[in-house]
Structure formats: structure tokens, C-alpha cells
Amino acid sequence: MAYLCVSALLGCFLTFKVSAIELIITDDLVVRDLDDKAVEHGFLSQKQTIQLTTGEHTLVIKYKDVFEDLDFAEERLITSDYFVVKFNLADQKKLILSTININDLAAAERFSKDPELTLLDEHQQSVVLTLEKLSDYELTKQVTKVVNDLSIPVVAQTKGETRTKDELTFNKQVIEKIDVVPMLKYWWDKASQDDKESFLLIINENMEIKK
């Protein structure tokens, strides 16, 4: 029995070691959150190394570095706003997350306004990642939480059938619990040019009706 217990524990330990993926983050990137949890002081080593498992992961980070301003003969600290990085890990063993090449102050300033990162595995193969504004990410989380909390009613509908009272009530509750202005901005940013033009036509028509 003791032998079986030790074997089971050893098997669990080996499984953990095999599934652990080492992510190294370059020093010019500052991590605030990992998978929606704040990164506590001392969580990262000096080399900014994180142990991850397979699956989806989300980082909230910002860019921060110092460059020499040749015009004023002084050093300048360049920082970006916090933004979100999403990626999915499979069978990788070691990865490094870094910025694109930033060689001077002008490049750093451009990067701070429009970040671009690379994620490479141990074979120098690129891993797909997506970047997102922090405000958009937080708004999506807010909407998802409200919808899940309210538990949308399941209603069977036939083609052409109008929405039920329950559905209309649910939609009203969602709107009441969400800050509408950021929501409008969120969908405006995601809309195509045709969608934006159609929306502006609707606004103009409503304005004409109110006159």
C-alpha cells in the first residue's frame, strides 16, 4: 500500500513537471495581472519567469523603458497604457514574450501607442497571440458577468416570431446594469465601416423624428 501511495505521488509530480511551461517575459514589459489575478510583489523572479499550464492564458501588461533624448541630452521614460495579451499553449516547453525591435526614442514612442509583441517557443516558432485594449477587455468581462448573473431565459421561437416579454425584460435588465456609453464605444470600435454608416443613418432618422 505504501509503495502504491509513493508511486501515485511520484506520478502526480512527474505529470506536473511535464505539463509545466516556462514563460519568460522581457524586462521592458511589466505584468500586472495573470489570468485575471493580480501579480503580487515577488511573484515574478528578476528574469520575469512564469510557470504556466496548457490552455488559454491572459496577461495584463504595459511597456516601460528608458531611452536617451538626443535633442535635450537627457533620458526619458517611455510607458504605454496597460493592455491585454491572450494566447493558447499546447505542447510547448519554454517561451519568451518580447516586444518587436525598438532601437530609439521615436520607435519607443510609436510602440507605446500601438504595441506589437512576439511570442516564440523553444524552437523559435511563433505562437499566435492577440492584443486588446484593457478597456475593451474589462467591458467584455462586465457584460459576460451581467448576462451570466441574470441567466437569460430559454425561449423556443419559430421563424418570424416576435420576442417574448421575458426576453425584452432580460435585455432591459442587462442595459440597466451596464454603463451604456462605454458599451456604445466598444461596439463602435468593433463595427465595420458599413455598420457604422448604417448606425449613423439610424441616428439621423431618430433626430429628424424628434424635431
140 and 200, same domain (yes or no): yes
Q: Is 72 helix (H, G, I), strand (E, B) or coil?
A: coil
Backbone angles phi, psi at 170, to 5 degrees: -60, -45
Domain count for the chain, please give it: 2
157 and 60, same domain (yes or no): no
166 and 188, same domain (yes or no): yes
Q: Is 112 helix (H, G, I), strand (E, B) or coil?
A: helix
150 and 123, same domain (yes or no): no
Cell, residue 80: 504605454
38 and 110, same domain (yes or no): yes
Q: Of 127, 155, 180, which residue sits at a domain end?
A: 127
75 and 119, same domain (yes or no): yes
Element (H, E) at 141: helix 134-150
Per-residue model confidence as pLDDT tens digits over 142-199: 777 766 766 555 444 544 555 566 666 666 666 666 666 766 777 787 788 988 888 8
The answer to whether the beta carbons of residues 7 and 13 sit under 8 Å apart is no
Q: Which domain holds residue 140?
A: 135-210
Backbone angles phi, psi at 56, to 5 degrees: -85, 145
**Pairing state of beta strands 94-99 and 21-25?**
parallel
Per-residue model confidence as pLDDT tens digits over 43-69: 554 568 899 999 999 999 999 999 988
pTM flag (> 0.85): no
184 and 155, same domain (yes or no): yes
Q: Which amino acid is at 110?
A: R
